[in-house]
Amino acid sequence: MNNLSELHLDALAEVFSIGAGRAALSLSEIVGDEVRISVPSVQLINAEDINPATLSLNCGQFGAVNQHFSGPFNAEAMLLFTEEQALKIVSDMMGSQMSLEELAEFEHEAMCELGNIILNACLSAMADILGFTLESSLPHYAVASANEILSRLRKDNSQPYVMVLHIDLAIEKRHTAGNLVFLLSSASLTNLVSHVDQFLNKLL
Amino acid sequence: MNDPHVTSSAKLNRGNGNNTEKYAPAQSGVKHFDTEDIANAVNIGLCVVNAAGKVLLWNDWISKHSGIKETDALNQPLEQVFSEQISPAFLSALKNSLTHKLPVVLSTALHRTPLPLYHEFELGIQQPRMYQSISMTPLRSQHNEPCCLIQVTDSSTSIKREKILRSHSEILKKEATTDGLTDICNRRFFDAHYEIAVADAKRQKYPLAIFMVDIDFFKPYNDHYGHLAGDAVIKQVANTLKLQLSRATDIVARYGGEEFVLVMPHLAQDIAEKFAEKLRAAVFNLAIPHIKSPSFHQITISIGVCSGIPEKNDNLLNKADTALYQAKQKGRNQCVSISLCETTEYLEQ
Amino acid sequence: MHMDKPTKKLLIVDDSKVSRMLIRSHILAKHPDWVITEAACGEDAIALVDNDLPDYCTMDINMPGISGTDATEQILSKHPSVKIVIFSANIQETHQERARSLGTTLVSKPVTEKSIALALDYLANA
């Protein structure tokens, strides 16, 4: 139960690639240029096994957009970029000549919106394809160090599973990489797996 | 938390499914307030539309800033309520929120003025639209109809407040970032500024010039004339270097004891070399006597310059420092320039 | 309705096994007699088409190796008779334009009864 099969992961990867496509479409409408988002891998990890390398949390400060969602399963979703990347994304999205100091002023709100677009696209794709309804809180953005994020991920005993999606985002030829992390309880993971099973059973 | 809008909406939305209860009368006990009175009293715009896009709630704030009365808005399709256009991003966000029943935010940073809202209405005067932050939250009506609550806040005030906070913190920052003796930037400010300047030059692909400046034979000066005179020389040199800068983007900082550093964006190698010579001449022309300076008998400076468009691991500061070392080796009171693409090994041959 | 039509050969190109399974099951529900082959990348698809020419092909865009649009271009330049429909989660204008310029169409993922109906409609009438 704690392990997802290749087929489960493939199904989730397909779900999230559709989510990524939706997010890219919304973002391209905002930036007026092509935006590419891909999800090259999906992993399921025990929260206690998580280390800086799994999330490429090498150093410095990270910008994290959080949304809590509930439905057939509950989870905390967190989208992570390094703060430097976050500022670059905001600057690309605003397409402006602003100084980095001025950009920092908009970082908070603009990252909330970017995170909201990516998270909602992934959640809605999951809901549409796996056939359920999810509710979600509004996004919240915070800047934290790698250590703060790791201890946050490991601390919560009620959510021992972490689903990690690596996200590649390209706006106007600049590539950035981030991670989308879902914190799941055992019960929520079981529910998610059973929804994926139902979906797969229809195909066999 | 520098965005009260996001916090307050997050609170309103906690536990999401409970939204209906907040707007419906409490199940037990007496209802103390009329929900509409509350909606009209709050200092943000509230509007509810149903799945068909028709307006079900239009509070006083929205009326005031749109110039459209509640009676003219209710039961009308939102798109037709306004005489001006609503931004396409707003409409697709609303559609997404209604379709997927997920909350959506539109930031001022990326949208500015999605709705035709204004601060004041004065007849015949065309005003600029109000800057807005918008959030959309799925909601069910008492008839269990899926709806969307649109909250609008005026973000021109929060932008202003943020600017005030910033200028306040800049005053505080000034104390932490200024060198006490010379009143130019200190090492701490330089370290932070250098990193940002290099990152920006890398991204925008323009040449950045770094100048390392050192007062020649400073220790003998201090020993001969005393520390107070030494301090006065450091001040004079700092001031002279500062006077050569005319662009807002350029900075000079005290790097250490009698060492200074200048950061100048958009300066190619040849211009940087000329500028370094100007700096050297300016200090030379002060003609401060220094009898312990073996060759010049006055205060002089040596300068190392490096300019170029930084790439991945380029270290402008190290190269400028190497150039300064070479200027010292070659006899002081001169400038040596290293271009970013030259390798140091090559130069040392 | 498909009784009076000859059996068609369809090639499904998609790096996701689940996505191939989805397309296969939706199409077989409508056309149980079609012969379906699968490829997991553009390079395999080109080789398969050279070996055994299909009537139709569904093509994903984002795959390891060459992109689905590049594979489509190569297949059509050699075998203009193959009718190809591009299935992608990425439906931005640039991709739609590229699909049109190749003489194919782009159908938006997810793979559902509705999107399969659109794809089949295009293949039958292209």
User: What is the average per-residue pLDDT within A155-172?
Assistant: 83
Look up the CATH superfamily of C2-125: Response regulator (3.40.50.2300)
Residue B4: its pLDDT value, please? 40
Residue B322: its pLDDT value, please? 95
Chain C interface, best mutation among A9, A17, A38, A199, by max C CB count within 10 A: A17
Paired residues of A37 in beta bridges? A169
Min Cα separation C92/chain A (Å): 6
pTM summary value:
0.64
Mean pLDDT, consecutive 10-residue segments, chain C of 126 residues?
Answer: 71 94 92 95 95 95 91 95 92 87 92 92 88
Cα–Cα nearest to A42, from A129, A176, A163, A125: A163
Chain B interface, best mutation among A85, A113, A172, by max B CB count within 10 A: A113
Q: Do C16 and A17 touch (CB under 8 A)?
A: yes
Residues of A whose CB is below 8 A from B177? none
Q: Do A70 and B103 touch (CB under 8 A)?
A: no
Residues of A whose CB is below 8 A from B189? none
Rounded-to-integer distance, Cα C12 and Cα C74, Å: 16
Chain A interface, best mutation among B6, B92, B100, B164, by max A CB count within 10 A: B100
Q: Do C90 and A24 touch (CB under 8 A)?
A: yes
pLDDT in tens, A108-129: 888 899 999 999 999 999 998 8
Residue A25: give the domain boundaries. 6-201
Residue B217: its pLDDT value, please? 95
Answer yes or no: are the C-beta atoms of B323 and B337 closer than 8 Å.
yes
Torsion of CA C94, C100, C104, C108, to 10 degrees: 40
Answer yes or no: are the C-beta atoms of A73 and A91 closer than 8 Å.
no
Q: Do A203 and C22 touch (CB under 8 A)?
A: yes
- CB contact residues (below 8 A), chain A span 12-41, against chain B: 26, 29-30
Q: Which domains does chain B have, with CATH numbers?
A: 4-160 (3.30.450.20), 178-348 (3.30.70.270)
Sign for the pseudo-dihedral over CA of A38, A44, A48, A50:
negative
Q: 10 Å Cβ neighbour count for B75?
A: 10
C vs B contact (3+ beta-carbon pairs below 8 A): no
Q: Do B105 and A113 touch (CB under 8 A)?
A: yes
ipTM of the complex: 0.84
User: In chain A, which residue's Cα lies nearest the Cα of B9?
Assistant: A138
How many cross-chain Cβ pairs, A to B, lie less than 8 Å apart?
A: 94
Residues of B whose CB is below 8 A from A113? 105-107, 109-110
Q: Do A106 and B105 touch (CB under 8 A)?
A: no
User: What is the average per-residue pLDDT within A135-156?
Assistant: 83
Interface of A with C (CB under 8 A): 7, 10-11, 13-15, 17-22, 24-25, 28, 34-36, 38, 125, 128-129, 200, 202-204
Residues of B whose CB is below 8 A from A65? none
pLDDT in tens, A67-79: 999 988 888 899 9
- Which helix H or strand E contains A160, and what residues bound it? none
Q: Do A34 and C92 touch (CB under 8 A)?
A: yes
Q: Does residue A106 form part of some domain?
A: yes
User: In chain A, which residue's Cα lies nearest the Cα of C22?
Assistant: A203
Buried residues in C52-73 as b, exposed as e (16+ CB within 10 A): eebbbbbbbbbbeebbbbbbbb
The domain tally of chain A equals: 1
Nearest CB to A14; choose among C18, C92, C108: C18
Residues of C whose CB is below 8 A from A169? none
Q: Is B120 a catalytic residue?
A: no
Min Cα separation B75/chain A (Å): 27
Which one of the listed residues B258, B277, B342, B345 is annotated catalytic? B258
Q: Does residue A95 form part of some domain?
A: yes
User: In chain A, which residue's Cα lies nearest the Cα of B87?
Assistant: A30
Q: Do B6 and A137 touch (CB under 8 A)?
A: no
Residues of B whose CB is below 8 A from A30? 89, 110-111
Residues of A whose CB is below 8 A from B105? 109, 112-113, 116, 138-139
Rounded-to-integer distance, Cα B334 and Cα A75, Å: 65
pLDDT, chain B, mean: 84
Nearest CB to B92; choose among A29, A100, A109: A29
Residue C96 contacts A where some CB pair is shorter than 8 Å:
no
User: In chain A, which residue's Cα lies nearest the Cα of C62?
Assistant: A38
User: In chain C, which residue's Cα lies nearest the Cα of A24?
Assistant: C90
Residue B20: its pLDDT value, please? 44
Residues of A whose CB is below 8 A from B18? none
Q: Do A139 and B110 touch (CB under 8 A)?
A: no
In one-letter notation, the amino acid at residue C83 is K
Q: pLDDT tens string for chain B (349 positions)?
A: 344 443 333 333 333 444 444 445 555 667 788 888 889 999 999 999 999 999 999 999 999 999 999 999 999 999 999 988 888 889 999 999 999 999 999 988 888 889 999 887 766 666 788 889 999 999 998 888 999 999 999 987 666 555 555 555 555 556 677 888 998 988 988 887 888 788 878 877 889 999 999 999 999 999 999 999 999 999 999 999 999 987 767 889 999 999 999 999 888 899 999 999 999 999 999 999 999 998 889 999 999 999 999 987 789 999 999 999 999 999 999 999 998 876 544 444 3
DSSP 8-class letter at C15: S
Q: Domain residues of chain C, as ranges? A: 2-125
Q: Does residue A149 form part of some domain?
A: yes
Nearest CB to A34; choose among C62, C94, C108: C94
Query: What CATH number does the domain containing A192 carry?
Result: 3.40.1550.10
Residues of C whose CB is below 8 A from A14? 16, 18-19
Q: Do B102 and A109 touch (CB under 8 A)?
A: no
User: In chain A, which residue's Cα lies nearest the Cα of C19?
Assistant: A14
Min Cα separation A106/chain B (Å): 6
Residue B12: its pLDDT value, please? 36
- CB contact residues (below 8 A), chain C span 31-90, against chain A: 62, 88-90
Rounded-to-integer distance, Cα A115 and Cα A68, Å: 12
